[in-house]
Amino acid sequence: MKKLISAIIALTASIFTTHAAVAALQPDTLCLQGSVGKLFAVIDRPSESPQPLPLVIIAHGFNDSGLGAFPSSISQSIVRQGMATLRFDFNAHGRSEGEFKNMTVLNEIADLKSVIAWAQQQPWVKDIALVGHSQGGVVVSMTAGELGYPTIKAEVLLAPAAVLRDDALRGNTMGAFYDPWNFQDEYVELPHFPGSRALQLGKNYIESAIKLPIYETAAQYDGPALIVHGMQDRVVPYTYAERYHEKLKNSRLQLIPTDNHMFTETTQSTPTLVAEWLKSTLSE
């Protein structure tokens, strides 16, 4: 536990450290229009690099933030490889606008498309790649499937949570129980720890999750894809990653026997794997 806490503190602190650490990056913050309001975003890029350069857009998971420890670690590894990143908060997360009870996978897809559309207009952006963790992995896979290659030059799915559709069908999302076929309320309360904010899972999330064509849409993407999943994941079984690998025409699957949903056992090697794969893939 001490090692885990130390790793999280180190990753989080590295975003806001001294001038010496920041000198390697050119961070910019901006607000973009999303599906239901303004989206907060951070761009990191090497201080010295040829332009235009690849931009990797990072999509966080359920109830996470683009400024969280894991997305930040991924970003730092990518920037060290000479590419730029854009991390953002989906609607109702972090510093972005919106109410959590109105969040759905579909409006997160719309958020990501808005970010991509902005990136396509930037003269310094050469290619666009996507990285998504957990629910963000589902959003990335479906967005890439809809937009296709070469609009999206590469995608990385980290513990992609395609289980969310099956969870909704079973009536159990993140420990919140409900009847998916007779859901009359506006929302259901999600379990939370003391001191954390209370969240409501909205009716629209449940009704849309039941019908999501996750794999059918994701399979339309024929560009290069990397799928990484921990075999000790108790939130999303790694069999969902295996199915992604079966469906995606040009994918590589990397299973990590000792790791979990948040990749806390490979806090350095997984971001390095992602960054090196993207560097190699986007250089081809």
Regions of the chain where pLDDT drops below 50: 1-26
The DSSP annotation for the chain comes to -HHHHHHHHHHHHTTS--HHHHTTB--EEEEEE-SSSEEEEEEE-BSS--SSEEEEEEE--TT--TTSHHHHHHHHHHHHTT-EEEEEPPTTSTTS-S-GGG--HHHHHHHHHHHHHHHHT-TTEEEEEEEEETHHHHHHHHHHHHH-TTTS-EEEEES--THHHHHHHHTEETTEE--TTS--SSEEEEP--TTSPPEEEEHHHHHHHHH--HHHHHTT--S-EEEEEETT-SSS-THHHHHHHHH-TTEEEEEETT--TT-TT-TTHHHHHHHHHHHHHHT-
Which domains can be identified in the chain, with CATH numbers?
Answer: 2-164+213-282 (3.40.50.1820)
pLDDT score recorded for residue 27: 65
Q: What is the pTM of this model?
A: 0.90
pLDDT score recorded for residue 180: 95
pLDDT score recorded for residue 284: 76
